[in-house]
Structure 1
Amino acid sequence: MRRSGSDRDRPLERSSERPSERPLPPSGPARAAVTAPWASLDDEGPAHVVLAFDDNRLATLLFGHYGRNLAVIERKLGVKADSRGNHVTLEGARDACEQARAVLEHLYEALRKGRDIGQGDVDGAIREVTSQGSLFDFDPAENRQSFDEIQLRRRPVRARTAAQDAYIRALKRHTLVFGSGPAGTGKTWLAVAYAVHLLERRMVDRIILSRPAVEAGERLGFLPGDMKDKVDPYLRPIYDALYDLMDRPFVERALQSGEIEIAPLAFMRGRTLSNAAVILDEAQNATSMQMKMFLTRLGENSHMIVTGDASQTDLPQGQISGLAEAVRLLEGIEGVGVCVFKAEDVVRHEMVGRIVAAYEKLDAAKLEAASARLGKAGA
């Protein structure tokens, strides 16, 4: 995108001209043009930004079907965004308009590179921009980014929240990484993405994916078929992540050759996992002994990632979750990274974040009530 350097450094213009009366700028040869970056009646008044994008097709994708992406930006940043053709006018507080401009420029740059964008990408761009504060010098063409990413053959996978950014950085820095937090925060998906990254660059020889075969509060009985048929239902989320991040024929070949191995946690005992990226998902359903067994499988030139949500354990009542215990014991040890996600880090659907927050509030109230009862009993 192109912005006039003189306009960027120009002080606020005092003008009574309404934004709708200004002529829209012609699209130039560069990626985008910004005209009348700030025009307000006073320094505290509303600001107006006009963006012109040089590719009408990409501009349509940028704005979203029936302006859906612009509606998300309006709601989350508190601005008004009106589109006409390949132009969009932003109105609102100065910082909010500048953040909205940075979001649109960032997303347009992604489209120019051939990437598809959805609501999750819009949410991620908004989170990134707001986490950086006021970005008056933001320029996506220079590829200056705060959130880290994982480079895959199929497409790059970029963090959408500060917690995901810390998670990716921990994966690149540590041999053993724990990712703990509520559902929908991208723990498993990013772990699989990093394992695929290591395999594609031949930094490891294989990927080993494991989960405890524990039902979610139900007794399913005996499942038909061979061992693979019995285990696959428990490991379906991992298959979904693989097919999302890699081409299906490659996944099928890797599964046949053993480059990608998917197995229940019970089959890990006695093994030494060398030259491998090893992932244990749903680790909150591992017992203390199972967790110790799994962690001690780590061999030379291996990376191990353990993910789970301690608040959703399906272990029998009174049994300690191996995930919570391992995080408590190993946090701070050299080579171990611990990343904790919260409700605000949910990227699955904004309703999921609200649901998680509501349950966290309920759990906090129960804990407070229990503490009050213990206090009265002690008195």
Structure 2
Amino acid sequence: MVQKTKADDAAKLIKLDIEFEDPQILGDLFGEYDRNIVAIEDRLGVYIAARGTKLKIEGEEQSVAQAHDVLTGIYNRLEKGQEIDAGAVEAIIAMAADPRVAKGAKPASELSQTNRNDVSEPPKVMIRTRKKTIFPRSVRQAHYMEALARDDMIFALGPAGTGKTYVAVAQAVSQLVSGSVDRLILSRPAVEAGEKIGFLPGDMKEKVDPFLRPLYDALYDTLPAEQVERRIESGEIEIAPIAFMRGRTLADAFVILDEAQNTTAAQMKMFLTRFGMNSRMVICGDPKQVDLPGEAVSGLADAVSKLRDIEKVSVIKFGASDVVRHPLVGKIVEAYEGKDAAD
């Protein structure tokens, strides 16, 4: 890859030329109808022109540096055989624009092949499952994946769309398939937002399954459907409301509690004390979305305040900038958080 920089002092713009070595990769780099290039231009406020294997980036210096890292990041991932979809492109752009990354980036005028920030390189942390390999889609997700591989108990806090539960399920499936654990246990409190489950039709399983649907969705996305069904039937995978955990010791298991903000302090204490030998626990929730009735204290906030300084316990906090769904979701979260703060 060869590149050169020209400074336009009058307009305070930087022009950066990049030449990629493998022309066969450029089709996937640009995306269908150049959608990847358009996404980079729209999100970072730069102009990108292509001629053959060369691209010219024009814009403000920091934006040009970020666009450089996004383009080289996509190219390097494709070169290593990784799949790049629209979501992955958005994630790489978001990571490049993230102040936690951008503040360490070199100015565009100093960029070279051996002098780039980490966004331009394929991520070193990943989770392999039977159906796909999961790569971090934000800086915080990378820290989260590291904690999942390292610590015994992880609290993942933050808004919807940040991948808290999905990444935890992927890590759990990976460890189950590799034999690191014998069981995968997924749980949620059955707290209703407006209706009582006693009024819902069906038996107990049919009543609580809707509350557990997101856990099923993550499972089917990381394991073939027949394996999910077979492992559920054999007991290797268990999906149940938190009330079903009482009186048990969960040894040799990867245990995930989703929507943990809707547990009471007593429920959370009961759940955490189920922890057994050779087990790992991940507790996911959004402290700002508590559906508990009355003035009940959220067990999630209570547990984090009591346990955050204990060794082998990690607390990962996600924010609106870590949302990895459609970019509009992140803006919606920011809008609501801003209104809540104003109120």
Match of 1:30 in 2: none
Distance 2:8 2:272 in 1: 63
CA contact (8 A) 2:261 2:301 kept: yes
Match of 2:105 in 1: 134
Give 1:62 deviation, angstroms: 2.1
Distance 2:8 2:55 in 1: 21
2:254 is the alignment partner of 1:283: no
Distance 1:85 1:253 in 2: 51
2:19 maps to which of 51, 54, 75: 51
- Map residues 1-379 of structure 1 onto 2, 5 A cutoff: 3=1, 34=2, 36-40=3-7, 45-52=13-20, 54-56=22-24, 58-84=25-51, 87-130=54-97, 131=101, 133-134=104-105, 136=111, 137=114, 148-219=125-196, 221-366=198-343
Match of 1:372 in 2: none
CA contact (8 A) 2:123 2:136 kept: no
Distance 1:197 1:246 in 2: 9
Q: Write the letter of the residue equivalent to 2:173.
A: V
Spell out, residue by residue over 1:44-88, the C-alpha distance to the aligned partner (whole angstroms, 9 max, x if none): 6521314346344x4223222322211221122221112456553
Q: Unpaired runs of 5+ in structure 1? A: 4-33, 367-379
Greater Cα shift, 307-316 or 345-354: 345-354
**Normalization by structure 1: what TM-score?**
0.80
Tell me the matched-pair count.
331
Q: Write the letter of the residue equivalent to 2:139.
A: A
Distance 1:84 1:223, change over 3 A: farther
Local SS of the residue matching 1:315: coil
Q: Write the letter of the residue equivalent to 1:75.
A: D
Spell out, residue by residue over 1:135-164, the C-alpha distance to the aligned partner (whole angstroms, 9 max, x if none): 532579xx9556632233433212222221
Give 1:295 deviation, angstroms: 0.3
Distance 1:231 1:220 in 2: 8
Distance 1:243 1:83, change over 3 A: farther
**Normalization by structure 2: what TM-score?**
0.87
Q: Write the letter of the residue equivalent to 1:313.
A: V
Give 1:111 deviation, angstroms: 2.7
Q: Write the letter of the residue equivalent to 2:312.
A: G
Local SS of the residue matching 2:325: coil
| Larger relative contact order, structure 1 or 2 (CA cutoff 8 Å, min sep 6) | 2
- Matched residues, percent identical? 50
Distance 1:54 1:147 in 2: 23
Q: Unpaired runs of 5+ in structure 2? A: none
Distance 2:311 2:154 in 1: 11
CA contact (8 A) 1:207 1:276 kept: yes
Distance 2:56 2:335 in 1: 36
Give 1:94 deviation, angstroms: 4.2
Distance 1:204 1:349, change over 3 A: same
Distance 1:41 1:322 in 2: 57
Distance 1:158 1:200 in 2: 18
Give 1:42 deviation, angstroms: 6.0
Distance 1:92 1:334, change over 3 A: same
Greater Cα shift, 306-315 or 131-140: 131-140
Match of 1:9 in 2: none
Q: Write the letter of the residue equivalent to 1:117.
A: I
CA contact (8 A) 1:174 1:335 kept: yes
Q: CA RMSD in A?
A: 2.5
